[in-house]
A and B are shown apart, each in its own frame.
Chain A
Amino acid sequence: MTVLHILAYASVAVFIVAVAVRAIRLATTPVHLRWELYPVAHEKDKVSYGGSYFEEKDWWTKSQKKSLFGELKVMVPEILLLKGVWEHNKPLWLWSFPMHFGLYLVIGFAALVLVTAFTGTQDGLGAVLEQIGLAVGLVGYVLGTVGALGLFGYRLFSRKTRGFTPPSAYLNILFLLALFATGLYMFAGVDHPSGALAAFGRDVFTLGAGAAPAGAVAAHLGVALLFMLYLPFTHMTHFFTKYFTYHSVRWNDEPNHPGSKLEAAIQRQLAYPVSWSAKHLRADGKKNWADIATDTEVE
């Protein structure tokens, strides 16, 4: 087993575990107070202007009309095209979009390489997929390199971000730049990059111990696997935590109906002991949240 094999197993394992831990940690935080922001995308009839069910007289007597399609209409352009950045920060979008879209294409390339690792590429579907993968990969690496270079410059020279960018943010971009640049180098220097990558992928998946690729392919694989190992410990986990920021906070308009599961969950939380120190709260670490909220004696 080569160093690259070990790195591949370690990266995948750490990535999955670290992402799962973070997702579980966020998903199991207590039910919070409502903090939505309009427009709420699943609001069926009023989303065009940001309205809510609170516009209805006796709103609690009417069933809430939710639209999954409405959420998709916001999320798909947001994820694929970075619509929010386009609307609110075009100079950033100029670089952020190619970097993100380039990354999506590179992930697509990796997925196609893995598929062809098992279908083969001699003829039929496998051959077609390999050609598509190569095209997607090449475009992805070019876009990504341009985007990462631009982002680095933007961070460094824009008055908006200069002084507000910590060292880790620069490292993140440099890491991405290395990922894309080594990919481009691989395409430039290796005749049949997807073949070598597919062979390695097949070997890893079948727990083989064959020889690892060398040269430009090995360099690219090494950077990509190290990036995978690094990513879950950075703010770049927004690729999945964005689900929570939108669905659990920004669009969370679920009312607390009497007798609901939501009410039961909150009831449990009202029993949490409180240890805030300010005098007016009269908390002692033993009184619970409900005790303090109902203690309205004024000194």
Chain B
Amino acid sequence: MTMADKVKVKDISKHPERQLTHIDPQDLMPLPPPYDKVDEEPKWKAIKQEQKDAVVSNLDDTIALGFPKPKTKEEEDELVRKFLSGLEKLLTRENNWTFLQPLLLSLEHCAKCQTCNDACPIYEASGHNDVYRPTYRSEVWRRIVAKYIKPGGKFFGAFKQGDIELNWTTVSRLMELSYRCTLCRRCAQTCPIGVDNGLITHELRKVFSQEMGIAAKEIHEKGSVQQLKVGSSTGMTPLVVKDNIEFIDEDMFDKTGIKIETPWDKEGADVLLIHNAGEILAWPENPGAFAVILEAAGISWTLSSDVVAYDGINYGLWYDDFQLARVAIKHAEAAKKLKVKKIVIGECGHAHKALTVIADRVLQGDLNVRRESAMTLLEDIVFSGKIKFDPSKNDFPVTLHDPCNMVRLMGIVEPQRRILRYLAPQFREMTPHGVDNYCCGGGSGFAIMSPFNFQDWRLSISGRKKLKQVLDAFADCPGPEIKKYLCAPCSNCKGQLRDLFQYYNVWEKSGILYGGLVELIVNAMVDVKEPFIEWEFH
């Protein structure tokens, strides 16, 4: 029996100085050869004892938030009081109209059948560690609400939901635990009653952010706050982003022979294209390929240089309704100002969902600018006959990763597939795929989070199932001598896949490159003489 078997829900309140659980590499879900040797599993970065002493570190073998430990009992009690006050606000119409109904349904109607557990790639990859069940943090939350918020909870709470003690240990572990779920909502898909334990993670993160001002630095301070302040979570100001795009335009001319001059702030354009600005810095070939395609197809398009509007990211989606609304409104205001016909969102899954689905009921009146996925625009262009393609230029094994936000949570499944079936002769699906896909492991902000040794956790546990899926999809050509392409039309997913492949030396051992969809489209263009895809890992 491993340590994980012994963790009970109410243990979360006990033994503040001990880790609640421990991750043993022996327990992790096996990977296919040549990644199957436990002793060759990458070693986790050690966290120094003084670091552990300084911040909350009593959940498992990693730290996501690095929240400083309170120095006195009074400080601890104040944080517990604030947490409880946040939970109460979460259950009010005024403070949480945004999610009150789904939250109440998931609070009161879970049958505790645990059916959802097996759908969770983190729980499975961890070797079924109880703490990573989708139900573990939700059960803690339900018990706290039943005992400390519901009338008569002191007498009936433990009977109704199970016992729990609310103290600083509980709150601090719950804070970390709300960052051990990628919000992929695969668990919710399997619940026969329709309960959504992913939503509960989302709502817990909101309590920590909206009431206590606690969130992962990468998604709050360096994320949405920086985006609202300077224009982009990457730190790029309007001037810098214009410079970078100019450089990309020149690079595209060198690579394709096609003259590109990316239009900025063009009033009345049909399309305002909003990229995840991370693409501009990390994968410039992606916005470059977009420009090549749109110009070749004769689309009237533009980018916006307004602060926030050149970066499609919206990290509020994962932890704070107000930060989400603030960023979405900025995106809509830029589109309104330019009088464009529609916003098209580039290859970024969470930007798709944030602006198209979640913010849909926040954008009112003339801010409700029409918004569309790049997948549909690209499909329309590819099959319009405006560009000539030679699919044989893509004659190498290709598989497709389905970004959760775009596919399971938006239902954009087929456009990208129709393109790949046409332009990639050796396209093959992963198992499972489409709305049943597995998360890349970098969802909900994880892809940009690497404090302490959190990167080890997100690569060896939350990304493990995706790695297995990718390797299985290329099981007929496993060696590095055959170059293979994993198409991931999402910037955050690519960030996670880049780190995952580096961590396990996937390029060297298996010859798998990751990239976007537009790169494959440009690679197949007849007018682009040289191969657009460079078979070098980056």
- Let me know if B300 is at the binding interface, CB within 8 A: no
- Let me know if B185 is at the binding interface, CB within 8 A: yes
Q: How far is the CA of A36 from the CA of B102 in the complex (A)?
A: 10
CB distance from B8 to the nearest CB of A (A): 5
A35 and B99 contact, CB distance less than 8 A: yes
CB closest residue in chain A, given B366: A258
- Let me know if A131 is at the binding interface, CB within 8 A: no
- Let me know if A167 is at the binding interface, CB within 8 A: yes
A34 partner, pick from B135, B158, B210, B358, beta carbons under 8 A: B358
Q: A192-200, A203-211, A212-220, A263-271: which lies at the B interface?
A: A263-271
Q: How far is the CA of A33 from the CA of B358 in the complex (A)?
A: 6
> What 1/0 flags go to B84-96 for Cβ under 8 Å of A?
0110010001110
Contacts A58-B342, A88-B115, A278-B211: A52 and B410 contacting too (C-beta < 8 A)?
yes
- Let me know if B435 is at the binding interface, CB within 8 A: yes
Q: A2-10, A24-32, A122-130: which lies at the B interface?
A: A24-32
A238 and B325 contact, CB distance less than 8 A: no
A277 partner, pick from B115, B185, B211, beta carbons under 8 A: B211
B101 and A36 contact, CB distance less than 8 A: no
Q: How far is the CA of A253 from the CA of B356 in the complex (A)?
A: 11
Chain B binding surface SS class: helix
A167 and B229 contact, CB distance less than 8 A: no
A266 and B210 contact, CB distance less than 8 A: no
B101 and A29 contact, CB distance less than 8 A: yes
Q: Which residues of A contact B356 (CB under 8 A)?
A: 54
B372 and A58 contact, CB distance less than 8 A: yes
B115 partner, pick from A55, A89, A248, A294, beta carbons under 8 A: A89
CB distance from B373 to the nearest CB of A (A): 6
CB closest residue in chain B, given A245: B194
A267 and B411 contact, CB distance less than 8 A: no
- Let me know if A296 is at the binding interface, CB within 8 A: yes
A256 and B376 contact, CB distance less than 8 A: no
A293 partner, pick from B94, B362, B370, beta carbons under 8 A: B362
CB distance from B149 to the nearest CB of A (A): 16
Q: Which residues of A contact B135 (CB under 8 A)?
A: 164
CB distance from A109 to the nearest CB of B (A): 25
- Let me know if A18 is at the binding interface, CB within 8 A: no
How many B residues have CB within 8 A of the partner chain? 99
Q: How far is the CA of A55 from the CA of B417 in the complex (A)?
A: 11
A281 partner, pick from B105, B112, B113, B210, beta carbons under 8 A: B210
> What 1/0 flags go to B305-328 for Cβ under 8 Å of A?
000000000000000011101100
Q: Which residues of B contact A280 (CB under 8 A)?
A: 213, 220, 225, 323
- Let me know if B450 is at the binding interface, CB within 8 A: no
How many A residues have CB within 8 A of the partner chain? 85
- Let me know if A92 is at the binding interface, CB within 8 A: yes
A249 and B196 contact, CB distance less than 8 A: yes
A164 and B9 contact, CB distance less than 8 A: yes
- Let me know if A157 is at the binding interface, CB within 8 A: no
Q: Which residues of A contact B97 (CB under 8 A)?
A: 29-32, 269, 272, 289
- Let me know if B413 is at the binding interface, CB within 8 A: yes
Q: How far is the CA of A280 from the CA of B85 in the complex (A)?
A: 17
- Let me know if B73 is at the binding interface, CB within 8 A: no
- Let me know if A57 is at the binding interface, CB within 8 A: yes
B190 and A43 contact, CB distance less than 8 A: no
A245 partner, pick from B8, B82, B109, B322, beta carbons under 8 A: B109
Q: How far is the CA of A30 from the CA of B96 in the complex (A)?
A: 9
CB closest residue in chain B, given A257: B368
- Let me know if B117 is at the binding interface, CB within 8 A: yes
Q: How far is the CA of A248 from the CA of B109 in the complex (A)?
A: 15
CB closest residue in chain B, given A265: B361
A57 partner, pick from B108, B357, B377, beta carbons under 8 A: B377
> What 1/0 flags go to A33-69 for Cβ under 8 Å of B?
1111111100100100111111111111000000000
Q: How far is the CA of A274 from the CA of B358 in the complex (A)?
A: 20
CB closest residue in chain B, given A31: B361
CB distance from B305 to the nearest CB of A (A): 17
- Let me know if A119 is at the binding interface, CB within 8 A: no
B112 and A34 contact, CB distance less than 8 A: no
Q: Which residues of A contact B370 (CB under 8 A)?
A: 58, 60
- Let me know if A142 is at the binding interface, CB within 8 A: no
B412 and A242 contact, CB distance less than 8 A: no
Q: A78-86, A132-140, A179-187: which lies at the B interface?
A: A78-86
- Let me know if B477 is at the binding interface, CB within 8 A: no
B195 partner, pick from A33, A160, A245, A273, beta carbons under 8 A: A245
CB closest residue in chain A, given B7: A163
- Let me know if A246 is at the binding interface, CB within 8 A: yes
A88 partner, pick from B93, B119, B130, B413, beta carbons under 8 A: B119
A242 partner, pick from B85, B194, B379, B407, beta carbons under 8 A: B194
Give the most central of B100, B220, B410: most A CB within 10 Å. B410
- Let me know if B160 is at the binding interface, CB within 8 A: yes
- Let me know if B329 is at the binding interface, CB within 8 A: yes
CB closest residue in chain A, given B90: A276
Residues of A within 8 A of B (CB): 26, 29-40, 43, 46, 49-60, 78, 82, 84-85, 87-89, 92, 96, 159-161, 163-169, 235, 237-238, 241-242, 244-246, 248-250, 253, 255-258, 262-263, 266-267, 269-270, 272-281, 289, 292-296, 298
6 sampled A-B residue pairs with Cβ under 8 A: A32-B100, A34-B360, A49-B413, A257-B368, A258-B366, A296-B326
**Sample of 20 further A-B pairs with CB below 8 A, known A245-B196, A249-B102:** A33-B362, A36-B409, A37-B188, A54-B372, A55-B411, A56-B376, A84-B115, A84-B190, A164-B112, A166-B159, A167-B158, A241-B105, A242-B109, A244-B101, A244-B105, A255-B360, A256-B363, A266-B361, A266-B364, A280-B220
